[in-house]
Amino acid sequence: MSSLLIKNATVVTLGKANQVIANGALLVEDGAIQALGPAPAVSGGADQVIDARGRVVMPGLICSHHHFYSTMARGMNPPGEPASNFVEILERLWWKVDRALQMEDVRLSALVPLCECIRNGTTTIVDHHASPSCRDGSLDVIAEATAQAGVRACLCYEVSDRNAEGAGVEENARFAARCGKEKRDDLKALFGLHASFTCSDKTVRRCVEAAAPHGIGFHIHVAEDKADVDHCLKQHGKRVVHRLAELGLAGPNSIFVHCVHIDDSEIDRLAETRTMVAHNPESNMNNAVGAAQVLKLIERGVLVGLGTDGMASDMLAQMRCAYLLHRHAAADPRVAFCEAPGMLLGGSAEVARRIFGLPLGELSAGGPADLIVLDYLPPTPLSADNLLGHLIFGMVDAAVDTTICRGRVLMRDKKILTLDEERIAAQCRERTPAMWERVRAL
């Protein structure tokens, strides 16, 4: 039985019973929090002791939508003329990048952002993968990387018809069967699809049929750009959310990503079906596709989590981006102060709870020991009532000192312990030029 004591901490529990405990402590045993509270109330010996020295201890952060496979595109100049719209971005960049990947690229493309997740305190990641030239078995390679890193991960493969009809259905089903058999608390599956405009009705129905025996939901990009909506109206005579819901993709275990170009009837459909939404503000701004109506989604009762779409792995920075974007989009300084942090601390936590069946995103006795020590010494009084102000204007800029997942210390004193970051980066640099040449040849 391994144990860990964290003492002299400013403990931020989050969850429904959110508390800020000054001079707090936590006792962790075998991956779970055995006790937490004011230091005098937490007793018992431990194999390891971490002195937080007054810094903030809070739950590990959660990313509701990532793309590990995009890693090796950093610094690459896409061939041809610069893309002028979203579809051209896909055609000239991402659909060439994913086709150029080889299996070792897939492994390294996962390990690099996993280092960054640990460094930024992200302990649970929902990833969406594509590698058409080395599809079969790719999710196992990524799962091995996430296990090595020590984080929790939910994986899927991106089914689409753009290279071959229904490509990826079998990979999703195989991996879902594996997860169902292993029943691990750190590895789960969703059934991935790219988007409405790259999947025929036949392909979507195949996915629904293949997912049914495993009892899992779906993970798909929805109305990210107006082109997806235009295609759906022209080809199917209905809007994207309605089409996907009628085909069986909506539901409380499914993530509809982006939802930038949806109307009120679609928002109602998401709420009625309890479908989850992953908001990716930095990516939406980078691709110039617009600002999703997340304030309206939240107001209507839709569960909205926060993701990065592969842009980065820093969830606190993503939160502040959402805060600034939606104040700017609404031209109203009264909005997003609660909603932006709420997507990260509440929405993403509920996304993870639905997927993993665990009370993630909070610190509670008996709950998972997924937590971080944030290098933040509050310069003004910190309480549950003013936490959001500290989060947006102070904690967001603080470095993560220690990252712990399932009771395992993944990083301590800002040094990653589970992965050799320098070696991984060097290996990725060595392989990248050849991958870029394959992209240029496509």
Rounded to whole angstroms, the Cα distance separating 360 from 339 reads 19
Instruction: Catalogue all structural domains in the chain, each as residue range(s) with its CATH number.
Output: 3-59+362-416 (2.30.40.10), 61-356 (3.20.20.140)
How far is 246 from 250, CA to CA, in rounded Å?
A: 8
* Angle in degrees, 0-180, between the axes of helices 240-247 and 226-236, rounded to the nearest 10: 60
Residue 1 is predicted with a pLDDT of 59
**Cβ-Cβ contacts under 8 Å for 54 (sequence gap 6 or more):** 8, 9, 10, 377
pTM: 0.97
Alpha carbon distance 52, 116 (integer Å): 22
Q: What is the mean pLDDT of residues 5-12?
A: 97
Span 183-196, pLDDT tens digits: 999 999 999 999 99
Q: To the nearest 10°, the Cα dihedral for 37, 38, 39, 42?
A: -40
Residue 44 pLDDT level (bands cut at 50, 70, 90): confident
Rounded mean pLDDT of the chain? Answer: 97
Q: How far apart are CA 253 and CA 330, in angstroms?
A: 30
Reading the block at residue 222, the tokens are 């929805």
For 356-412, the pLDDT digits (tens) are 999 999 999 999 999 999 999 999 999 999 999 999 999 999 999 999 999 999 999
Averaged pLDDT for residues 263-292: 98
290 phi and psi angles, rounded to 5 deg: 120, 175
For 66, 307, 382, the CA distances from 342, given in Å and listed in that order, are: 19, 13, 18
